[in-house]
Amino acid sequence: MRVSLTVNGKDRADEVEPRLLLVHYLRDVLGLTGTNIGCDTSSCGACTVLVDGESVKSCTMLAVQAEGTEVSTIEGLASDGVLHPLQEAFREHHGLQCGYCTPGMVMAASSLLAEHPHPSEAEVRVGLEGNLCRCTGYHNIVKAVLSAVAP
Amino acid sequence: MTATEAPRKGVLGQRLVRREDPELLTGEARFVADLKVSGTLHLALVRSPMAHARLASVDVSPALEVPGVVAAYSGADLEGEWAGPLPCAWPVTDDMRQPAHLPLAAREVCYVGDAVAVVVAESEYAARDGAEAVLVDYDPLPVVVDLEEAAADRALAHEELGTNTSYVWELKPDEAAVEAAFASAAHVVSGRYVQQRLIPSAMEPRGVLVVPQPFGGEFTVYSATQIPHILKVMLAVTTGISETSLRVIAPSVGGGFGSKLNVYAEEVLALTLARMLKRPVRWIETRSEATQATIQGRGQIQEIELAADERGRIQAVRVRLLADMGAYLQLVTPGVPLLGAFLYSGVYDVPAYSLSCRSVFTNLTPTDAYRGAGRPEATYAIERAVDLLARRVGVDPAEIRRRNYIRPEQFPYSSVAGLVYDSGAYEAALDKALQLAGYEELRAEQARRREAGERHQLGIGVSSYMEMCGLAPSRVLASLNYSAGGWEAATVRILPTGKVQVVTGTAPHGQGHETSWSMIAADRLGISPDDVEVLHSDTAIAPYGLDTYGSRSLSVGGVAVAIATDRVIDKARQIAAHQLEIAPEDLDYGGGEFRAKGSPERSMALGAVAFEAFTAHDLPEGLEPNLEASSHFDPPNFTFPFGTHVCVVEIDTETGGVGLASYVAVDDCGNQVNPLIVEGQVHGGITQGIAQALFEKASYDDQGNLLTSTFMDYLVPAASELPSFVTGSTVTPSPTNVLGVKGVGEAGTIGSAPAVINAVVDALSTYGVEDIEMPATPERVWRAIEQGRRP
């Protein structure tokens, strides 16, 4: 089947197997390997991307279901060699260790802040509950997200 | 440069942000699954759905009909390929029983997840389709799941062994003293604790990519491993491929926690198939495979007894362990209980000690090292038992600990179990933790709620821990029958431009070694960490190394970096002295520069020395070119970090729900290289201990089927289940290494599980509850309350 969509601002059109997952399309067809796979039950959130601005676990969606959408991945966040403020906040507050959950976590956090520009700590914790991290205990992730809140 | 004579502020101890982060934050980092090599074949494994069965037949031919499938093999097809079984490096006793363990089972499967066939295909999807098509007939055999039934040999995990017992190991320095202490004790308390099996759950599942050069005869193995160096040696032994033809690279690795401290069937299999098929071969684990085919942690039943005098001072500790090996012995499976076996006296001054451990096979996934490995188990048992003792004696849990701590003036302290603890100030850490927690106020609030009969009751749990880490003095490992050493290697080079290259044998997978090692070298050299690169995790670049596990990297590997740096400075000093025509001992070094004592205008920058060393036009007679030095540091002793954690839980007495109200951790890991990283390690460690206490358990049915095989069922906690943590530290340097460091990777996990359960039991004490099994689920808590409410 043919799928046409926009990924990180670029138009894409590819012939794909109907069963191909969006995450595999991003990783294997487009070579955007920043989006990671951490489970097979849409539980961990490592594969979180934005589809038309909403955070979506890209292992839970077929590539063909993304027809006509705008997809944003971690590769599209930094621009001109400068980290996005949220990426910078994760670095500043040591919100990552092994970094495997990080792309998904950052995308989920960016979606959270888009919807709730001034979240409380509790709202950040609930907002990120679909993204698992095994290294940080979330303490510094929460701190990073709160620090990235627009003044 | 002479204007800045004031002492340079050191780099060590600064909260530098990590140099590792930008590539991880942007998706630029390459994990194994991200590596693309054209012509790569993909593997999918067929795994047993039976916990114990004879393989009546394995028919792989239907898989060959699936489009895209290139080859398929049963275990019997590949039996001739193995030069040796999968390795176990820790035969703890000479008579330890060990079943044969091949990468693919050929005749019998011994746990659910044991691989029986492999399908090789042009794509990952085709490989999985092929694996679905393989037909296997299993003849079921009796299954043994329960640890105590296993010990009783009611059914055998491996019939050919004739028993489920792998080994019995004892540490009984003076049995008569133990018996005498119990005979004369004013108080005896005992506890039986179940350390449930845990699924390590590193966020990156395992994966391996083998790229052969068929005509060159070499193989590059990329693996999501904590141990590229050990893996290389073991791959040579298991496949018969010469070590000189193997290069192992651990690229970005997404967490390990011990689960990637192993030599796995799939690594050996991928290498073997790459050799057979002469094409790159890749295998990426799914999460559902990871829960079954990656090692699990814990799996012990502990019986502990304390004998104490009238005031609650502990006179003896007696421990009996039953340890679950699972179906096979993986790399260090049998040694895990031993890593805790010396620590059941905890932070206390205990005169008599007795421990015995029986380790048994079950038809379950093999166990092995998981964060803390043996030490969280030991700490849990003693810290739970000490709380029980406090209750028996009728004193506060903090007070019973004060009465028993080893005192600062007793260090170095020779423990009854035979260790020498390097340094410690246990009561200072307790005081700080109690103060940060507001302990007195918490007790008052607890009393108020009890008095008022409120629905939500407070529980306050204290746990003081210490651990032996910095694995390990090689001679001690020899005495424990471990097959390798415990040293670590580092090389430091000053490049011709004055930039610095550090090569380490450690293999970081989230710990930030690039940042910390650059700080160690930069601090000694008096330069910026930005001028230091750190290379690692590639056996062609760092040929010597024993990798990353057991909180060893800093206190062994980081110390090796420090020693090698000092050696480079020594060599540079000779060259600078020659150039400045002065005696080497008349030179001061600091801030990246040699200066003559008393006449600092006679100086030479390190970069200039490095260039002289590189051109070698005018070196001292007999001195070789280049500025490079190595260290292979074998630590003289373990290091012994310690601390006290205070956990406050709020229990809903109607539902049994346990909420974490606050969590305070005061950890002492000696000198800190980078407190930002130290705190991060503590946060993550605490969370894994909380997870064991409240959420996680690998649950099996009586036929050995894993009931928690995905993240839908296995409760790795999310941000919403946790509080923010309050962390503090004390600093008691280790006298056993030049950096005074101890290690911090496992500390949080070791201190936290007992703190949480002590808090839960404390909250429930008014219902007569003395123990609650982990994980303390709402159901278990609710049942305990209901039982207590009955007349």
For tokens 């044991």, the residue is B114
For residue A119, whether the previous peptide bond is cis, meaning omega lies within 30 degrees of 0, is: no
Q: Please give the C-alpha separations between residue B143 and each of B138, B146, B301, in angstroms, as whole numbers.
A: 13, 9, 20
**Which residue, of A25, A52, A76, is where some domain finishes?**
A76
Coil, helix or strand for B449?
helix
Instruction: Say whether residue B201 is in contact with chain A using an 8 A CB cutoff.
Output: yes
Please name the residues in contact with A1: beta carbons below 8 A apart, sequence gap of 6 or more.
Answer: A15, A16, A17, A18, A64
Task: Give the pLDDT of residue A151.
Answer: 74
- Taking CA–CA distances from A142, the nearest residue in chain B reads B719
Cβ neighbours of B685 (radius 10 Å): 28
* Domain shared by A9 and A45, yes or no: yes
CB contact under 8 A, B680 and A92: no
- Name the region of A103 (left: φ>0; alpha: ψ -120 to 50; beta: rest): alpha
Residues B746, B758: Cα–Cα separation, whole Å:
20
Task: Give the pLDDT of residue B1.
Answer: 34
**Which residue, of A42, A76, A110, is where some domain finishes?**
A76
- Taking CA–CA distances from A77, the nearest residue in chain B reads B26
Coil, helix or strand for B494?
strand
Instruction: Say whether residue B154 is in contact with chain A using an 8 A CB cutoff.
Output: no
Chain A residues near residue B686 by CB distance under 8 angstroms: 137
The answer to whether B41 and B120 have CB atoms below 8 angstroms apart is yes
* Domain shared by A135 and A92, yes or no: yes
Using a 10 angstrom Cβ sphere, with 0-12 exposed, 13-18 middle and 19 or more buried, the burial of residue A146 is middle
Positions in chain B whose pLDDT score sits under 70: 1-9
CB contact under 8 A, A137 and B202: no
Q: Token pair for residue B323?
A: 């340890």
User: What is the DSSP-derived secondary structure letter of residue B579?
Assistant: H
Chain A residues near residue B685 by CB distance under 8 angstroms: 137
* Domain shared by A21 and A63, yes or no: yes
CB contact under 8 A, B255 and A38: no
CB contact under 8 A, B512 and A97: yes
Domain B36-141+205-253+260-293: state its class: alpha beta
Task: Give the pLDDT of residue B790.
Answer: 85
**Which residue, of A46, A76, A106, is where some domain finishes?**
A76
- Which of A32, A134, A140 to mutate: most B Cβ within 10 Å? A134
In B, residues 272-291, which contact A (CB 8 Å cutoff)? 286-288
Instruction: Say whether residue B593 is in contact with chain A using an 8 A CB cutoff.
Output: no
Instruction: Say whether residue B726 is in contact with chain A using an 8 A CB cutoff.
Output: no
Task: Give the pLDDT of residue A150.
Answer: 76
As for the ipTM of the complex, it is 0.99
Chain A residues near residue B680 by CB distance under 8 angstroms: 94, 97, 135-136, 140
Q: Which fold has domain B394-469+637-789?
A: Aldehyde Oxidoreductase; domain 4 (3.30.365)
- Taking CA–CA distances from A85, the nearest residue in chain B reads B25
Residues of chain B with CATH 3.90.1170.50: 36-141+205-253+260-293
- Per the structure, the count of domains in chain A is 2
Residue A117 sits in a domain whose CATH number is 1.10.150.120
For tokens 């057991």, the residue is B550
* Domain shared by A54 and A98, yes or no: no
Residues B299, B528: Cα–Cα separation, whole Å:
46
CB contact under 8 A, B203 and A101: yes
Report how many Cβ contacts below 8 Å link chain A to chain B: 183
Domain B21-28+487-633: state its class: alpha beta
Instruction: Please report which helix (H) or strand (E) contains residue B195, including its range.
Output: strand B187-195
CA nearest B713: which of B294, B300, B292? Answer: B292
The answer to whether B327 and B157 have CB atoms below 8 angstroms apart is yes
Chain A residues near residue B207 by CB distance under 8 angstroms: none
CB contact under 8 A, B718 and A138: yes
Range(s) of the domain holding residue A134: 85-147
Please name the amino acid found at residue B385: A
- Which of B15, B203, B553, B662 to mutate: most A Cβ within 10 Å? B203
Please name the amino acid found at residue B205: P
* Domain shared by A56 and A106, yes or no: no
CB contact under 8 A, A32 and B27: yes
Instruction: Say whether residue B18 is in contact with chain A using an 8 A CB cutoff.
Output: yes
CA nearest B251: which of B227, B218, B271, B222? Answer: B222
* Domain shared by A31 and A65, yes or no: yes
Report the sign of the C-alpha dihedral through residues B75, B78, B84, B87, in that order: negative
Residue A51 sits in a domain whose CATH number is 3.10.20.30
* Domain shared by A96 and A72, yes or no: no
Of A34, A124, A140, the CB nearest to B680: A140
CB contact under 8 A, B684 and A136: yes
* Domain shared by A99 and A34, yes or no: no
Residues B595, B597: Cα–Cα separation, whole Å:
6
User: Model confidence over A20-58: pLDDT tens digits?
Assistant: 999 999 999 999 999 999 999 999 999 999 999 999 999
* Domain shared by A11 and A58, yes or no: yes
* Domain shared by A14 and A66, yes or no: yes
Positions in chain A whose pLDDT score sits under 50: none
The answer to whether B519 and B673 have CB atoms below 8 angstroms apart is yes
Chain A residues near residue B679 by CB distance under 8 angstroms: 94, 140
Task: Give the pLDDT of residue B3.
Answer: 39
Please name the amino acid found at residue B469: C
| Torsion of the alpha carbons at A64, A67, A73 and A78, rounded to the nearest 10 | 150
CB contact under 8 A, A92 and B711: no
* Domain shared by A108 and A125, yes or no: yes
* Domain shared by A57 and A102, yes or no: no
- Which of B19, B20, B21, B286 to mutate: most A Cβ within 10 Å? B21
How many alpha carbons fall within 13 Å on the CB side of residue B776? Answer: 34
CB contact under 8 A, B203 and A100: yes
